[in-house]
Amino acid sequence: MSMTRTGETASKRRWLVPGLCVVIAAAYAAVFLAHDRPLAATIGAAIMLAYAAVLVVFSRRSEAVALLREDERDERRSMITTRAAATTLYALVLLALTMVFVQLARGLEPGPWGVICGVGGLTFIVATVYHSRRY
């Protein structure tokens, strides 16, 4: 693979997350405007556009921002992203399990929290089996 292609791919990838922020800003605006909530539409879109602007402006000055923007990757940055994703997953699993027990303590069904726990647990099992055979 030529260096030009790699450079072009990296350049396109740098704009993926800010571009996705613009798409999500438009989606926020559309959903809230459809429900006749112009203030929420403006605030939701503004937050996403501000996040995109921060990514674009500060990604050259801050490695953390560059990681959030998905700038060029190396093994170290990939490891940081993997660890951050794992930490996020642990926090979400802890939240979902806590909410299941809160619902049960209230005498209610686990509801969507139970579904999230079930899907998360099943995904973890399948991914563990898959990756243990792959590597």
Say which amino acid occupies 27: A
- Given a contact cutoff of 8 angstroms between Cβ atoms, the answer to whether 28 and 44 are in contact is yes
* Domain-terminating residue out of 72, 93, 123: 72
Residue 13 sits in the same domain as residue 62: yes
In this prediction, residues 75-82 reach a mean pLDDT of: 90
Domain of 1?
Answer: 1-72
Q: In Å, how far from its chain's centre is CA 90?
A: 14
pLDDT at position 2 over 50: no
- For residue 7, what pLDDT band results from cuts at 50, 70 and 90? low
Residue 61 sits in the same domain as residue 3: yes
- Given a contact cutoff of 8 angstroms between Cβ atoms, the answer to whether 40 and 48 are in contact is no
Task: Give the per-residue pLDDT at 135.
Answer: 76
Residue 17 sits in the same domain as residue 66: yes
Task: Give the per-residue pLDDT at 134.
Answer: 83
* Domain-terminating residue out of 72, 105, 124: 72
pLDDT at position 87 over 60: yes
DSSP 111: T
Task: Give the contacts of 105 (CB within 8 A, at least 6 positions apart).
Answer: none
